[in-house]
Chains A and B, each alone.
Chain A
Amino acid sequence: MAQKSTPLEVLVQKLRQLRPPSIHTLISTLEHAESFREFAAIVREFLPEREKEILHGSSPGEQMMFFARYFEERYFPLSYYFATGEAEEYDELTRYIPAEFPGLSYDDYQSILWDGRLGYQILSFLIEDEPGYRGDFAGDILDEIPEDIRNQLPALDYQDLREIFQTAGPYPGIAWWLRIRNCDTGNVFHDICDEDYWQMNVPVFEWERGEVEELTRQWQRAEVIQNVVHEAAEWFEEKPVERFLEVVNFIKGRLAELNGGENVTEERA
């Protein structure tokens, strides 16, 4: 005959079956809920008319993907990582604004020197801030611009060229490219690269209305700058030799003006 259980023993059995959550479990659950609450607050603040559509996504990744896509349409792009639905935790999006910063990284720049578009190669070739720097170039520029013409370009570092090419001058695309190349545009989207932002080597932007509005203004300006540079690259590509020489002459003329009429350019040997 089975032994009769006491009421306390029954209670212990029931509790074991039900597995009441430990405080650790509650903390973990509420931390997740808190992250969701923060995400939902951001959605309500910046895309209120899309709230239902975004929050009804089947997973955090899908919800953040919807948010990133709609956000970019109105404000500025967020990291591609969110738009593809790869993100898993709300914290990845909520801890700070994960904007996409297309500033030039070292690797981006090296790839231009080795096999970039001709127009961007010419733009980059203008600077010689280290002796021998131009020797790093490969690809189209070597085929399209003969060596004797390339050698007519004075060896000038960034600071000299910054003085010669003003953004309000006759070659704004060159002026902006030089500044982009040296992270000196005054526009965060050109001066910060993703690598630095994600590693938090630069101050991050918080999810605040003022920050979002400021970044939106800067993004609109960044696009204008990028288009101006792109037009300059295309301009070089149309007639590479002729326009390269035109710019060489402009540099020499401006150098002469800046040096009080004396032409003191130093041509490459």
Chain B
Amino acid sequence: MAEQEEIARLVNALKAVKPTHLSIIDIAWQVMGDDGNVDNNKVVALGVNFDKAIKEAEAYIEQNRRVLQWLRSLLR
């Protein structure tokens, strides 16, 4: 297969990746105060355990790292 074709397939595959929704973003919006910093009153009032969202975000970072590593390996 020609290199151009391989690149086209790869690009198409990447285009098919659906956007990831991270709950950490939602939580960050909910606990942010008017000054852009975390508002502790909102944190307490929200009553949500952040650990799950943090773990999800960490897993997302790790998956991205692995994809990037794989893409880089294709360039060699």
A interface residues, Cβ below 8 angstroms from B: 21, 23-24, 26-27, 29-34, 36-37, 40, 55
Contacts and interface: CB of A to CB of B under 8 A. Distances in A.
Nearest to B22: A23
A249 B38 CA distance: 70
Interface of B: 22, 24-25, 27-28, 31, 38, 40, 43-44, 46, 49-51, 53-54, 57-58, 60-61
A27 B43 contact: no
Contact of B61 (A23, A29, A34, A40): A23
A40 B40 CA distance: 9
Contacts of B43: 33, 36-37, 40
Contact of B24 (A26, A32, A36): A26
A23 B60 contact: yes
Nearest to A24: B61
A61 B31 CA distance: 22
A29 B38 contact: yes
A37 B61 contact: no
A33 B24 contact: no
B40 A30 contact: no
Contact of A27 (B24, B38, B40, B49): B24
Given A21-B28, A29-B38, A55-B40, 10 more contacts: A23-B22, A26-B24, A27-B24, A27-B57, A29-B28, A33-B50, A37-B44, A37-B46, A40-B40, A40-B44
A29 B49 CA distance: 14
Nearest to A31: B54
A38 to B, nearest CB: 9
A89 to B, nearest CB: 15
A23 B65 CA distance: 13
Q: Count chain B CB atoms within 10 A of each CB in A21, A24, A31, A40 and give the residue with the most.
A: A40
Q: Count chain B CB atoms within 10 A of each CB in A24, A29, A30, A34 and give the residue with the most.
A: A30
Contacts of B61: 23-24
A32 B60 CA distance: 20
A26 B51 contact: no
